[in-house]
Homo-oligomer: A and B are copies of this chain.
């Protein structure tokens, strides 16, 4: 059985004011009519033998998850993290739930706040990855880069395995633009944080490479409180976990890692500039939404949620209006938005 694990622990603060601590971007509709988490949950429905998704999220977001997936007639199983501990503990707890259902379950780990343009291609690649997973590999998707991005980590593919997958030669950190250009020439791939493996294999490797985390997650899971379809992990054990990513805790140290190249219009929508790049730009390079009036404006993203926005004689700007705030920033500053939003009152963060 294939079980989707949807990670909904992120807060996406770089998409302020649309994404908030109380309303992270996965619960927003950013590129279409459905929200990002709805799109994520819909992404695997074309595959056969897919089980009910496991969603890992904080207590504050449980109701939104149930409401938004419920709108798609999907009833998820929910694991509530008492605190955010990065991805490895979240995935480990979901793997424990998956093996309970099916000891041979293959899980597909999906961040809830990414976009994928070509869903059919993605489903095809997941199918392919399940073959590699059946062979005992822990597979991560490596997105074929379309430009020398400095905002993503990269994966260097190693020795080929089969079905297009390779062993992983190295994970590398976010590069500068020159290094990124070289990475592209050398066939490195973007690390998209999407994984396919047998849940049991992940737990085995976690126990080998991060035994302390394995122990604490297992305890937190065993001592969890179940209410209907939700399971609240035990606070005491969970609090003691040292936050770590899946890459750091398992994928880098394991000898069973594999990478499968993916080309299906992926983006993590890491900033407003990314969302601008993803949009359908007019001939002046503008992407607009809502009641927007432009004159002599180029290469800008203007989004109005609640009231008319008039823009005149500006270029390369991001302008976002919501029912309780307004953002105006140069595209080139999209990564720096936290420098301002940190100064906002708590209820606006």
A: which residues have CB within 8 A of B? 16-17, 293-296, 304, 307-314, 317, 319, 321, 324-330, 332-333, 336-337, 339-341, 343-344, 348
Contacts and interface: CB of A to CB of B under 8 A. Distances in A.
A293 B294 CA distance: 24
Given A295-B336, A343-B293, A344-B293, A312 B330 contact: yes
Count this chain's copies in the assembly: 2
B294 A340 contact: yes
Nearest to A17: B310
A340 B310 contact: yes
Contacts of A337: 310, 312
B324 A312 contact: no
B313 A332 contact: yes
26 contacts: A293-B344, A294-B340, A295-B333, A304-B326, A307-B324, A307-B325, A307-B326, A308-B325, A309-B325, A309-B326, A310-B328, A310-B337, A310-B340, A310-B344, A311-B327, A311-B328, A312-B327, A312-B329, A312-B333, A312-B336, A312-B339, A313-B329, A313-B332, A313-B333, A319-B326, A328-B328
Nearest to A294: B340
Given A296-B333, A333-B296, A340 B312 contact: yes
Contacts of A327: 309-312
A328 B312 contact: yes
Given A319-B328, A326-B321, A336 B310 contact: no
A229 B44 CA distance: 75
B308 A348 contact: yes
Given A17-B310, A293-B343, A344-B293, A328 B317 contact: yes
